[in-house]
Structure 1
Amino acid sequence: MTPGHPRAAHPEHDHHHATDDHDLAEILDLDAELLADHTADLVDWLPLRTAPREILDLGSGTGAGTFVLLGRFPDAHVTAVDSSAGHLRLLREKARARGVEERVRTVRADLDADDWPDLGAPDLVWASASMHHMAHPDRALARVRELLAPQGLFAVVELDGFPRFLPAHAPEGRPGLEERCHQASDGYHAEHVPHRGADWGPMLSAAGFTVEDRRHVTVRIEGDRSAAVGRYAYGSLRRLRDTAAPALGAEDLEALDELLDTDSPRGLLRRDDLAVRTERTVWAARRP
């Protein structure tokens, strides 16, 4: 999920990115745990003509899609590509623990770079919540078309927006806080991830793909189904704070910090009204 961009070679930046990678890795793992069934449903929905043998997972993160794909296609080999060495290390550790390390190859790469490494000729390319990070998505789409095997399938899964967790009336005294936090971070995301929520159908067609199908999925997972919902909400809102804080009013920022206070009786981890609410769209496009 993190195709990435060039990083500054400076110890302070390296420390920041290592911490950021660790925090994001935890969120990716929680996302994988909570949405595994939904991811499997999307894989089963794909209009595949034959079972793929070579799969490319672009922006693999810690392996949410990689392991669903390996489970669904037992004869397949997956090349997992990500810009984060830490995420790929965790993916390899999981592969060893699951006994599938011989079926996984990891490649660290910046997919916005001028040249891509050799990624083979996959017959299925899976890109989940990664394409919107591209600075030049049209160029990335063209490269996918070039490497994809003839008649191969490209599955683009994208978030319509970041997940929500709190009910509209929460928290007490500052109802609607979560939505205001997202609105406060819109300026940051418009600058840094302008393709989030885009319609990838026309871009895929312009890149020479035939879009065979599109599916929109609404997900709701109640907090009482898994303790992971609270941890997922906490990690997500903690990251959201970084981009929302400059545009939040003082009262909203104070209320958000109380939600993120693990010692507060009104903190996120002690709430019993959380739910994961998210929407995702998948495009299935074929190389003619």
Structure 2
Amino acid sequence: MTLTSYGPTAAKVAAEPPSAPPGAYLKHIFALAKRSLIKTIRTPEALIDVTLQPLIFLALFTYVFGGAIAGGSQHEYLQLLLPALLGQTIAMAGVALGQNLNADIEKGVFDRFRSLPIGRSVPLVGAVAADIVRYLILMVVTLGVGALMGFRIETNFISAVAGVALAIAFALCFCWISVWVGMKARTPGAVQGIMFMLVLPLSFGSNTFVDPSTMPGWLRGFVNVNPISQLGSAERGLLVGGPVATPLMWTLIWMAGLLVVFVPLALRAYKRRV
């Protein structure tokens, strides 16, 4: 005769699947990352933020404002703008991640994940891993169209690859803010509104579009510590030449800070939400 317990201990075991070995954990992450990519392929309009949106920013500021800002030389402004724009647009690309996670929760998808013998953090990490493909698309599209517009990398191949890798690594750290907001907000629309309220001041209150020396003193102080400014300066150094060490150091510090703060917050909010 088999005895079945329905007490708190049994309920806890049912709610928390046994921990999987590291190899299985990675396998589960890849499986859920593949699921996210398949969903993206079936809805290609979801790639607008990493294809059309950065190109609109690039063309708009180069051809409409570039001549006035750079004293008539649109090519000179393009060389200044595009490296820093990689950092600005890749930060905005992370907004969709929080929206998609929030929508999956509302549809009950994460209730199904809870019934699977996978780690509790696997759905979030898998979704973040899938975003690497979106960020690569953004890099290829922006640099490719920029080359057609006249942008030229003035350093070398290794520096250019390092610049692309740095931008993607920063995005993988910054997107955890979007994951956290996606766990806390009630609707996908609210996630978008909250994230744009954060990303837009960071984007335009940076050295991406204009020289900070033309700004008021109080604003320059914000620009100098802005992570988008530090990333933009590092990208300029890696792609067109200039100082790299100091902005790279501050970018890495910001990346570590984002992970330390927002990964635990996102995981805690996820456990409470689902």
TM range (shorter): under 0.3
Provide TM-score, normalisation by structure 2. 0.23
Structure number having the greater strand percentage = 1
Larger radius of gyration: 2
Greater relative CO, 1 or 2 (CA 8 Å, sep 6+):
2
Structure number having the greater helix percentage = 2
